[in-house]
Amino acid sequence: MTDYDVVIIGAGAVGCAAAYVLSGYKINIAVLEKEADVAFGTSGRNSGVVHAGFNNVPGSLKAKLCVEGSRRFEELALHLGVKYIKTGKYVTGFSDSDRAELERLLKQGKENGAEGLEIVNGDDIRKIYPNIQGNFALWSGETGIFDPFEYTVKLAEKAYDSGAVFLFDSKVVEIEKDESGRFRLSYERQVLGKPEKETASLTAKAVINCAGLYAADICRMAGIERFDIRPCRGEYHILDKKYSQMVDVPVYPVPDEENGVLGVHLTPTVSGNIMIGPSAEFLEEKDDYSNEEDIMHLLKEGAELLLPELKGAAVIRSFSGIRPKLIDKQGEINGDFVIESSKESPGFIYMVGIESPGITASMHIAEMAAGLAESALGVKFAKKTHRSSVKEEMPDMSSFSPMVCRCEKVTERDILKAYDDILKIGAVPTLKGIKNRTRAGMGSCQGSFCTADIAEVLKKHRGADISEITYDGPGSELFFGRLK
Amino acid sequence: MERKETIVVGAGPAGMAAAVQLCEMGFRDVLIIEKESGPGGVLRQCIHPGFGLTRFGKNLTGPEYKALDEERLYGSGAELCFNTTVMDIRQGEKEGIVLSAHTPEGIKEYMADAVILASGCRETGRGALEIPGTRPAGIFTAGTAQAMMNLKNTKVGNRIVIVGSGDIGLIMARRFTLEGSEVLCVVEKSEICGGLDRNKKECLEDFGIPLLTSSTVSCIKGKKRVSAVVVRDKDGNEQEYLCDTVILSAGLIPEDSMAERDIEGLFYCGNVLYVHDLADDVSVSGEEAAIDAAGYLIAKMKGKNFDSKYSSSNVGSARDERRAFLAERNALKLKESSSGRKYIICTMCPNGCRIDADNFTGGRCSKGEAYARNEKLDPKRILTSTVKVKGTGDVIGVRTDRPIPKTLMMEGMKLIRDIEADQSVKVNDVIAEDFLVKGVKLTASDSYRSEKIR
């Protein structure tokens, strides 16, 4: 089928949340994603923090949606089966100006309706965490951590089970409106083993643009020229799990107002690593996920300011994510989300500038988008009486399955389940997708033991051709076929 | 909880030697636990020669060396437990040492009076090396590349830059070159080669592969697959190398994350204690740790204390001592490399004697002079590679039974492409007679198992 009621562009956290919300209605929906799998862009490259809502300007959409999102995240995580820990968080300060800024954040947070905020002094912090630096801090009791891959994957799986169609490796290249007023979206896909890209198309009554970094480009295809998104890269280091006991709560410095970013912070992950970062650097390209030498040093210095014990700590991986910063006509950063329905092109709904706290707010953004789609189409979508609950097939846990990733304790069965789950939603199996779902290769050895074993498991049990196994989609083939 | 007197964790060279040693000393209640489905550890993928020179007086490949120890292990009476991953080692609440393991029968706990940890080491990854740049496909540790090529018959790269001059990286430089890939350079941060002299000579110099010392990789480029690396020398000059693969061989880290430190009755041996140069030394370390574990068990029975350099409480000082030794050795190497003296490094054993290139003196034994004369006139090498196993997509390691003229190596590789071994092939079986040179045999260095270890 190529005719849909609503087509969502982008399978990040917001796109998958929109698919999840809309799949609760009696409508046909599809999701187009240019990458091989969900959460390969900004959604999978961030601190994994559920924000409480004190960093955003009162009255802004960010403030409103963040506070609401934070309030229901715990329940949502439970419903989706996503690991979530309400850790709380410190924003630590040293100087008088820091103090003033923290007081301002406290006031702002209260105005936004964020709960659990208080200023604590350095001794209070050190009663619990003897090594965290700072003369005082803003404590936010409602802040939490979660796994952004898992969150996005679970949303996509639930949406799929309720009838959403996902098309991966499908990059939208053109949006037109036909005589009947329907949108025709053309998209390119790289079919494995063929050098040329193939073009296909589908039609939709409404389109929801959740393309993150590329949201402005998608808007332009629909004739909306006014947005400018500038990529702002944030680099991170991930530390070995052996440091996990050092800090189990996010520790932030006073935010960097100028760039509208939160500054280099320490974030524990739900899996027991500590992340250091992110930096903030405006780029030309939207897909330059490299790590720069000088910033790699700066991150370590930033972390040591907050927790001197981390000096010399062993990094197991560095990575980067890119924030889609919305720039206004004056070239200034527009600090808010834009979630609107197009006047020029009715039925085209766009969300632009969805950066932090985008995942915290994702379910609300999705609900707003659904509402906007209803108004644009002048209909009220009929709710499904119940979601078709597809019972998750639990693999037989009683039988033995060999250990594949010894660092993260991932078995052959876990790998195969991830592979099958990827195929089920229509995504392209990749090493990165398997890693995101199982954590195989995310431990101390970073895949030096298990990469070969994962390839072998996929070959042996799923008939995968080793030379077709990619890291993150076509072009990233890991090996060059048989040696002999 | 299953109770044992002694448990050996890991059936690589150290673990095999330790278990055999314990059994030979008369200990009967010995269990050896191994993650893989058979013994040997990393030896299986080390199809190159250089093993067994000190322990067996023969120049063996890794699988051949493994086969000798494997036979002793199977005859020792030690209980073997494969497909079992030890996840946690801790002091028992009242007594003994408790191990938790993922086993074919589920999660199981074992208790032992003494445990010998022989879990080997892991390779330093790109993250730990803190190399700037992107993270595309095509970045592998040397060991991963070795396993893919030698065990899984898979091509890893075409144009390769090797980061770090550790022994596995050097071995892989030769292996890649023999298999037709191009190794552009080996980039080494320090002023001298990290690997053994023997490997520097036979893996790099034999093939004209440049070793760039005092240099680092300042950037990896490429979005989907590696497209280039930028190498920076000590003066800050940068040069870009277009390549599709980066191989990391810059350090090994003891793999003891599953064990608590300072457990009474826990002994470390082999590369989990500290990283050794040679498998022979690893095996000796396993034997010595087993002797000390036995000493501990006897002392304990008599209510006495027992101290050993292999005790888990002494791991820190053993590693410090090793570091000091390496620092001293490197200082010597550095001094020598700047002396400008012309010499031939003898590779008859790992001593690496420097034989004067003109008068052939300087060897610690008589082999040195003969070797140097030969090396100057008619250098010879043992050729190792893999051949296809008939009717399967698999390969098996092969070697020439004696050194062949160095100049014939590439021709030998061409011949090897068309040779196939039967599925019934066993270690030491002759695969080809009169290989390149009359009287030279090409023999299998491993036995083929159709149901290969994953």
- Looking at the structure, do residues B204 and B95 belong to the same domain, yes or no? no
Among residues 150-189 of chain B, which lie with CB inside 8 Å of chain A?
151-158, 179
Q: Do B417 and A484 touch (CB under 8 A)?
A: yes
Better pLDDT: B340 or B428: B428
Of B35, B123, B137, the CB nearest to A448: B123
Rg of chain B, C-alpha, whole Å: 23
Q: How many helices (H) and strands (E) does chain B have?
A: 10, 26
pLDDT at residue A335, rounded to an integer: 85
Amino acid at B69: D
Instruction: Enter the DSSP assignment of A146.
Output: E
Mean pLDDT of A403-430: 95
Among residues 14-73 of chain A, which lie with CB inside 8 Å of chain B?
none
Q: Which residue of A has its CA nearest to B140?
A: A448
pLDDT digits (tens, 9 = 90+) for B208-239: 999 999 999 999 999 999 999 999 999 999 99
Of B104, B133, B141, the CB nearest to A400: B104
Chain centroid to CA B129: how far? 20
- Looking at the structure, do residues B62 and B180 belong to the same domain, yes or no? no
Instruction: Enter the DSSP assignment of B436.
Output: S
Whether the predicted pLDDT of A219 surpasses 70: yes
Best of A34, A479, A482 to substitute, by most chain B Cβ atoms within 10 angstroms, is: A479
In a domain, B336, yes or no: no
Mean pLDDT of chain B: 94
Q: Which residues of A240-306 form beta strands (DSSP E)?
A: 251-253, 265-268, 274-277, 281-282
Mean pLDDT of B122-140: 96
| Alpha-carbon distance A198 to nearest alpha carbon in chain B (angstroms) | 20
Mean pLDDT of B307-317: 95
Share of chain B above pLDDT 90, in %: 85
| Alpha-carbon distance A392 to nearest alpha carbon in chain B (angstroms) | 23
Q: Which residue of B has its CA nearest to A410?
A: B102
* Token pair recorded at residue B187: 């980039």
Q: Bridge partners of B420?
A: B388
Q: Is the Cβ–Cβ distance between A481 and B393 less than 8 Å?
A: no
Q: Is the Cβ–Cβ distance between B382 and B402 less than 8 Å?
A: yes
The C-alpha angle A394, A397, A402, rounded to 5 degrees, equals 120
Work out the number of other CB atoms within 10 angstroms of the CB of residue A416.
20
Judging by beta carbons within 10 Å of its beta carbon (0-12, 13-18, 19+), is residue A285 exposed, middle or buried?
exposed
Q: Is the Cβ–Cβ distance between A306 and A314 less than 8 Å?
A: no
Question: Which residues, including other chains, have CB under 8 Å from residue B68's CB and lie 6 or more apart?
Answer: B52, B56, B60
Please name the residue that has the structure tokens 């040693």.
B21
Rounded CA-CA distance A230/A263 in Å is: 18
Q: Is the Cβ–Cβ distance between B275 and B287 less than 8 Å?
A: no
Q: Is the Cβ–Cβ distance between B149 and A483 less than 8 Å?
A: yes
In a domain, B32, yes or no: yes
> In this complex, is the C-beta atom of B132 within 8 Å of any C-beta atom belonging to chain A?
yes
Q: Measured between alpha carbons, how far apart are the two ends of chain A, in Å?
A: 44
Whether the predicted pLDDT of A390 surpasses 70: no
- Looking at the structure, do residues B366 and B264 belong to the same domain, yes or no? no
Q: Bridge partners of A349?
A: A208, A341
Work out the number of other CB atoms within 10 angstroms of the CB of residue A467.
15
Please name the residue that has the structure tokens 């995240």.
A73
Which helix (H) or strand (E) element contains residue B282? helix B279-301
Please name the residue that has the structure tokens 């100057």.
B376
In a domain, B68, yes or no: yes
Rounded CA-CA distance A44/B255 in Å is: 29
Which helix (H) or strand (E) element contains residue A458? helix A450-462
Q: Which residues of B222-366 form beta strands (DSSP E)?
A: 228-232, 238-242, 245-248, 252-254, 266-268, 343-345, 354-356
pLDDT at residue A399, rounded to an integer: 80
Q: How confident is the model at residue B260 (pLDDT cuts 50, 70, 90)?
A: confident
B257 in helix, strand or coil?
A: coil
Judging by beta carbons within 10 Å of its beta carbon (0-12, 13-18, 19+), is residue A71 exposed, middle or buried?
middle
Of B237, B249, B28, B221, residue with least CA distance to B135: B221
Q: Is the Cβ–Cβ distance between A427 and A421 less than 8 Å?
A: no
Among residues 182-241 of chain A, which lie with CB inside 8 Å of chain B?
237-238
> In this complex, is the C-beta atom of B417 within 8 Å of any C-beta atom belonging to chain A?
yes
- Looking at the structure, do residues B279 and B237 belong to the same domain, yes or no? no
pLDDT digits (tens, 9 = 90+) for A186-196: 999 987 667 78
Q: How confident is the model at residue B451 (pLDDT cuts 50, 70, 90)?
A: low
Provide DSSP, B167-212. Answer: HHHHHHHHHHHHTT-EEEEEE-SSSS-SS-HHHIIIIIGGGT--EE
> In this complex, is the C-beta atom of B104 within 8 Å of any C-beta atom belonging to chain A?
yes
Mean pLDDT of A86-107: 96
Work out the number of other CB atoms within 10 angstroms of the CB of residue B307.
11
Provide DSSP, A98-143. Answer: HHHHHHHHHHHHHHHT--SEEEEEHHHHHHH-TT---SEEEEETT-
- Looking at the structure, do residues B116 and B259 belong to the same domain, yes or no? yes
Per CB-CB distance under 8 Å, the chain B contacts of A290 are 132-134, 219, 221
Rounded CA-CA distance A434/A442 in Å is: 11
Q: Which residue of A has its CA nearest to B258?
A: A407
Rounded CA-CA distance B298/B25 in Å is: 12
- Looking at the structure, do residues B368 and B394 belong to the same domain, yes or no? no
Q: How confident is the model at residue B340 (pLDDT cuts 50, 70, 90)?
A: confident
Please name the residue that has the structure tokens 């430089």.
B173
Rounded CA-CA distance B205/B61 in Å is: 21
Q: Do B137 and A400 touch (CB under 8 A)?
A: no
pLDDT digits (tens, 9 = 90+) for B99-108: 999 999 889 9
pLDDT digits (tens, 9 = 90+) for A305-349: 999 999 989 999 999 999 999 998 787 888 899 999 999 899 999
A199 in helix, strand or coil?
A: strand
Best of B122, B163, B176, B417 to substitute, by most chain A Cβ atoms within 10 angstroms, is: B122
Mean pLDDT of B341-361: 82
- Looking at the structure, do residues B260 and B370 belong to the same domain, yes or no? no
Domain that holds residue B352: 341-377
Q: Do B130 and A296 touch (CB under 8 A)?
A: yes
Q: Which residue of B has its CA nearest to A451?
A: B144
- Give me the count of residues in chain A: 484
- Looking at the structure, do residues B132 and B245 belong to the same domain, yes or no? yes
Better pLDDT: B368 or B409: B409
Q: How far is CA A416 from CA A433, A434, A456, B35, B104, in A?
A: 12, 9, 11, 19, 18
Share of chain A above pLDDT 90, in %: 86
Among residues 377-396 of chain B, which lie with CB inside 8 Å of chain A?
386-388, 393, 395
In a domain, B238, yes or no: yes
Whether the predicted pLDDT of B454 surpasses 50: no
Q: Which residue of B has its CA nearest to A242?
A: B257
Work out the number of other CB atoms within 10 angstroms of the CB of residue B137.
25
Per CB-CB distance under 8 Å, the chain A contacts of B181 are none
Of A317, A402, A456, the CB nearest to B127: A317
pLDDT at residue A191, rounded to an integer: 73
Q: Among B252, B285, B306, identify where a domain stops.
A: B252
- Looking at the structure, do residues B83 and B143 belong to the same domain, yes or no? no
pLDDT at residue B452, rounded to an integer: 46
pTM (2 d.p.): 0.95
Q: How far is CA B8 from CA B2, B4, B31, B85, B261, in A?
A: 14, 10, 6, 12, 16
- Looking at the structure, do residues B109 and B155 belong to the same domain, yes or no? no
| Alpha-carbon distance B126 to nearest alpha carbon in chain A (angstroms) | 7
pLDDT digits (tens, 9 = 90+) for B276-289: 999 999 999 999 99
Q: Is the Cβ–Cβ distance between A302 and A237 less than 8 Å?
A: no
Among residues 216-255 of chain B, which lie with CB inside 8 Å of chain A?
218-219, 221, 223-225
Mean pLDDT of A408-415: 94
Mean pLDDT of A43-70: 97
The C-alpha angle B145, B148, B149, rounded to 5 degrees, equals 85
Judging by beta carbons within 10 Å of its beta carbon (0-12, 13-18, 19+), is residue A271 exposed, middle or buried?
middle
pLDDT digits (tens, 9 = 90+) for B356-393: 888 888 888 888 888 888 888 899 999 999 999 999 99
Q: B435: domain CATH number?
A: 3.10.530.10
Q: Measured between alpha carbons, how far apart are the two ends of chain B, in Å?
A: 29
* Token pair recorded at residue B425: 């092939």
> In this complex, is the C-beta atom of A297 within 8 Å of any C-beta atom belonging to chain B?
no
- Looking at the structure, do residues B7 and B59 belong to the same domain, yes or no? yes
Of B180, B141, B136, B145, residue with least CA distance to B164: B141
| Alpha-carbon distance A237 to nearest alpha carbon in chain B (angstroms) | 8
Of A402, A406, A483, the CB nearest to B149: A483
B40 in helix, strand or coil?
A: coil
Q: Do B149 and A476 touch (CB under 8 A)?
A: no
Q: How far is CA B360 from CA B198, B202, B370, B375, B436, in A?
A: 17, 19, 8, 11, 29
Cis peptide before A278 (omega within 30 of 0): yes
- Looking at the structure, do residues B128 and B248 belong to the same domain, yes or no? yes
Rounded CA-CA distance B18/B33 in Å is: 12
Q: Do A478 and B136 touch (CB under 8 A)?
A: no
Question: Which residues, including other chains, have CB under 8 Å from residue B117's CB and lie 6 or more apart?
Answer: B9, B10, B89, B256, B259, B266, B267, B268, B269, B272, B312
Rounded CA-CA distance A292/A283 in Å is: 12
Of A406, A412, A479, the CB nearest to B35: A406
Furthest C-alpha separation in chain B: 68
Judging by beta carbons within 10 Å of its beta carbon (0-12, 13-18, 19+), is residue B301 exposed, middle or buried?
exposed
Among residues 23-52 of chain B, which lie with CB inside 8 Å of chain A?
35, 37
Q: How many helices (H) and strands (E) does chain A have?
A: 11, 22
Q: Do B154 and A448 touch (CB under 8 A)?
A: no
In a domain, B334, yes or no: no
Size of interface A-B (CB pairs under 8 A): 137
Mean pLDDT of chain A: 93
Q: Among B377, B402, B424, identify where a domain stops.
A: B377
| Alpha-carbon distance A84 to nearest alpha carbon in chain B (angstroms) | 25
Of A257, A477, A214, residue with least CA distance to A353: A214
Per CB-CB distance under 8 Å, the chain B contacts of A473 are 224
Q: Do B125 and A446 touch (CB under 8 A)?
A: yes
Q: Do B132 and A291 touch (CB under 8 A)?
A: yes
Q: Which residue of B has its CA nearest to A468?
A: B154
Among residues 402-461 of chain A, which lie with CB inside 8 Å of chain B?
402-404, 406-407, 409, 411-412, 444-449, 451-453, 455-457, 460
Rounded CA-CA distance A276/A41 in Å is: 19
> What is the total count of domains within chain B?
4
Q: B183: domain CATH number?
A: 3.50.50.60
| Alpha-carbon distance A37 to nearest alpha carbon in chain B (angstroms) | 15
> In this complex, is the C-beta atom of A480 within 8 Å of any C-beta atom belonging to chain B?
yes
| Alpha-carbon distance A320 to nearest alpha carbon in chain B (angstroms) | 9
Per CB-CB distance under 8 Å, the chain B contacts of A289 are 134-135
pLDDT at residue A395, rounded to an integer: 65
In a domain, B102, yes or no: yes
pLDDT at residue B450, rounded to an integer: 62
Furthest C-alpha separation in chain A: 69
Whether the predicted pLDDT of B453 surpasses 50: no
DSSP β-ladder status, A338-341 and B430-432: unpaired
In a domain, B453, yes or no: no
Q: Among B232, B252, B272, identify where a domain stops.
A: B252
Of A452, A467, A474, the CB nearest to B144: A452
Per CB-CB distance under 8 Å, the chain B contacts of A449 are 122, 144
